[in-house]
Structure 1
């Protein structure tokens, strides 16, 4: 007689949640806790999650209540869940929305309290000084409209995140239709648009390759207004323009590019973060773009990469609908709370494995190839200053041979080699006889090489971190990562995303990380992999010497 094993979770009083990866219910438990728990560590057998106020508030804003969260913890926990933790979950989630920003019929924007004691507490905080006006009654205080964003930031930091119900200006009408001949919105894309529109503003989290641009286009069509789209770089701006021309009724004359090379303001304007954050004599010279039209929608591409000045600018845009698009809400600077308060909470989040199982992104095989440094390199590493060690390990010459062997295993595939250090990439490009794209490559040359890669004219491409985001390379089936931005989880997600578009023949995508053993390179690799582990992707670890004996990665 077989017995069902106890649950896969161990829920602890310090708000950590341990997940036994090999348990038969591990995948179901991972999906169930994903809306409210954040992954902290992901070694081979037990993953560690943590319950945080921001994670619980995001879940609350997305429509999950404390009863559901508690039910999930009780259902999957192996041992009794500490009662104090369940109480804390319920009380933390109950803090969201006790204060509301609302439109008053005669006094405009007000802060309305569902709990008067909370209102008294925040009124007595020095942090709210200058953000609030006249007190109308026991439950309502006038808010200066220009301070709507800053007040939300302060309230979040005080532990009382406000629910923003104040609505939005309509903006200048500009009809936009989706041209769905030969295609239609996928169910999850429609759910993402509906979730955003119902919430008014917020963030949609979708895997790379799952069609975030189409979600943006559909939101624009739903809005039917002038739209400002903020993107990471000029290549991304032009990809957005091309996709909008292909998927919507917009014409070239209706779409403007506002970048280093062009300054066009049109009903739909695509601007780069870089140009908006350019300063001259201490002044942001292009801020007028935010008021150049009566924008009805502001769209933030790759919201996890938003530069700090854009947050400050966004604080002044609270009366506009705002949509953030990203593959991961992880920010390496820890400013997820700014995204929550200024752009909005997470409105839709689709686990990568779920989208993969529906056939909309390619299945991926993730392999970490560990290389042992030769004795002289190990000695040089040991004697180096701490700040030099990562570069020495990440750019180890021995990685070149490993990359060549990996490329040779995929003669029929389109292969991307991705890294951080230019001298390392130049050497690899020379070894592989492949073109190299870096930040110094002109936009025109980048586009030419990306087009050649898409068409199959070029089958090997060596790229720096400029290809981390917003580059559409649907034919890429193999990515080999040789170095990265230290332990950046968001970068790992972006790089895997480059190869996730489904292949016509259903092939599996291959993602290799080449790592120097017993160095900080290996430590950073473990940190980088956390986000993907949360999505259900397990890294197999193989020794560089055993590559020839590893048929599973062929």
Structure 2
């Protein structure tokens, strides 16, 4: 039988989708390569230094990666690829950061490498002095800065300098939740906790856990807290997510209400367990002034800092994180993709990827819902086609996104799934307001007060409201377990991250058939097609297949 992959000398891997070994080959390649293109028959992956360093940090070695490539490769692997894999895998751990007495020390088995590094101008400000032949002493409190600079030079540091224990906080897990439901941490969540903790040694204690939306990343965070028994600062995307964390902590642990603080625009409570929003941390009165609330990182002797949705971490929080490297740091995310290209900063400042579970494996185990993805291509009306043809690129995208004919197709999808719990999601407020006016469904945007949002989400959860129209405020950390249909009418250009998060809104396991439906409505023969393809890359990498329908095909499947 013909093998499914072709490895090319430019470090790309071509994977044949129609090959019987496609799925097993894809799962073998995913831990060390990134998907770039995914047309119908051949998917293209790229092996990058960062993808290899993450693989090394997760415990893979060069022999295992080369073994996987040889197992599935149709032809001999180019020598340059073998050299690249071996060299980049060797680089992780080539420089180690350790603590010797009161000093932070960079050590390497290659003294010439350290001699080369110390001559780099961008590294010199962080070095206090040379140690012996194989070490450099790092200036106090510049642990993050030196790691950040070294990774830009192509040398990821293995940080073994250890962590402060933080003040103790007793965190016990319940066997039965406050809602009288049996509670136990799932096997894969235990594996994620163990991968982060690593027996409490310096090899653990910082890094990122990647799990699909709906797979219980919050429970992993709570499990790590229970393992460490320490005061914890939890950073989240918004106030609704903050209160969901608080509810989960109350529901799944024996923590008392007075032990959990809310640090947001509304409240400034600092307790043994404090949940804060990124927005409040990055608040400042004027652009050139200091961030008012950054002292929260030092208000208590935190033993753990949890970064929820770490792929959204704002740049100022990165800068602060570089100065608190002695704290244990856990990043939680559904995807490590950052549209700003700062994945290397996540690696060096939060930590490498410690655990990653393919979405389809959890789907097969029924821990998340099976998702059927459909892209519907709708023609622009005549009067918009001329307007589109003379517009600039950015204007073209908005015209295509707000195509008024999307409304009639959304209506037909709603009729087809009558009685389902539906989210209509979009980017442009004017478009969403028009949908709310036509359908008479409640609308949630960034301008909706938090109390009103929580009330509407509560009504949706109880089944009192069957359809919500939501802007991008619902992209993240919104727990709506019964939502089983999502209709996306517009999005943020080619954001892979957003596509994954929006699908995630409907992935929590369902009663009965455990199936969810994700519809994307785009304008045919427009820039939306190109952006839609890019948005779908991450989900394609996870094994999802989009069914593409034009208007005629849609009419056959969804008769009016």
Q: TM-score with structure 2 length normalisation?
A: 0.97
In structure 2, the partner of 1:9 is: 5
Alignment partner for residue 468 of structure 1, among 475, 478, 483?
A: 475
In structure 1, the partner of 2:137 is: 142
Q: Does 1:191 align with 2:191?
A: yes
Task: Determine the C-alpha separation between the residues in 2 that align with 1:258 and 1:471.
Answer: 19
Structure 2 gap segments, 5+ residues each:
177-181, 199-203
Structure 1 gap segments, 5+ residues each:
none
In structure 2, the partner of 1:56 is: 52
Alignment partner for residue 299 of structure 2, among 277, 292, 305?
A: 292
Structure 1 residue 129 displacement after superposition: 1.4
Alignment partner for residue 387 of structure 2, among 368, 380, 384?
A: 380
RMSD of aligned C-alpha atoms?
1.2
In structure 1, the partner of 2:179 is: none
Task: Determine the C-alpha separation between the residues in 2 that align with 1:426 and 1:545.
Answer: 28
| 1:270-289 alignment, distance < 5 Å | 270-281=275-286, 282-289=289-296
Runs of 4+ in structure 1 off by over 3 angstroms are none
Structure 1 residue 368 displacement after superposition: 0.2
In structure 2, the partner of 1:89 is: 85
SS in 2 for 1:246: helix
Alignment partner for residue 207 of structure 1, among 195, 207, 212?
A: 212
In structure 2, the partner of 1:398 is: 405
In structure 1, the partner of 2:105 is: 110
In structure 2, the partner of 1:160 is: 155
Task: Determine the C-alpha separation between the residues in 2 that align with 1:120 and 1:113.
Answer: 10
Task: Determine the C-alpha separation between the residues in 2 that align with 1:534 and 1:145.
Answer: 42
In structure 1, the partner of 2:241 is: 236
Structure 1 residue 375 displacement after superposition: 2.5
Q: Does 1:23 align with 2:19?
A: yes
Map Cα deviations across residues 54-85 of structure 1 (whole Å, 9 max, x no partner): 00000000000000110111111111111221
Q: Does 1:487 align with 2:513?
A: no
Task: Determine the C-alpha separation between the residues in 2 that align with 1:428 and 1:303.
Answer: 32
Task: Determine the C-alpha separation between the residues in 1 that align with 2:514 and 2:556.
Answer: 21
In structure 2, the partner of 1:507 is: 514
In structure 2, the partner of 1:269 is: 274
Asked if the contact 2:232/2:274 (under 8 Å) is kept, the reply is yes
SS in 1 for 2:446: coil
Alignment partner for residue 100 of structure 1, among 96, 100, 106?
A: 96
Task: Determine the C-alpha separation between the residues in 1 that align with 2:123 and 2:139.
Answer: 12
Asked if the contact 2:183/2:252 (under 8 Å) is kept, the reply is no
Task: Determine the C-alpha separation between the residues in 1 that align with 2:421 and 2:350.
Answer: 37
Mean CA deviation greater in 465-474 or 192-201: 192-201
SS in 1 for 2:295: helix
Q: Does 1:34 align with 2:30?
A: yes
Asked if the contact 2:373/2:545 (under 8 Å) is kept, the reply is yes
Map Cα deviations across residues 311-350 of structure 1 (whole Å, 9 max, x no partner): 0010011000000000000000000000000000000000
Map Cα deviations across residues 94-134 of structure 1 (whole Å, 9 max, x no partner): 011111000103x4211111211111111110011110112
Q: Does 1:223 align with 2:228?
A: yes
Task: Determine the C-alpha separation between the residues in 2 that align with 1:7 and 1:185.
Answer: 39
In structure 2, the partner of 1:302 is: 309
Structure 1 residue 405 displacement after superposition: 0.7
In structure 2, the partner of 1:361 is: 368
Structure 1 residue 546 displacement after superposition: 2.9
Map Cα deviations across residues 351-375 of structure 1 (whole Å, 9 max, x no partner): 0001101110000000000111123
Task: Determine the C-alpha separation between the residues in 2 that align with 1:445 and 1:544.
Answer: 37
In structure 1, the partner of 2:442 is: 435
Task: Determine the C-alpha separation between the residues in 2 that align with 1:326 and 1:522.
Answer: 27
Alignment partner for residue 131 of structure 1, among 126, 131, 134?
A: 126
Structure 1 residue 509 displacement after superposition: 0.3
Q: TM-score with structure 1 length normalisation?
A: 0.98
Give the paired residue count: 548
SS in 1 for 2:465: coil
Task: Determine the C-alpha separation between the residues in 1 that align with 2:479 and 2:119.
Answer: 51
Structure 1 residue 447 displacement after superposition: 0.2
Task: Determine the C-alpha separation between the residues in 1 that align with 2:409 and 2:403.
Answer: 11
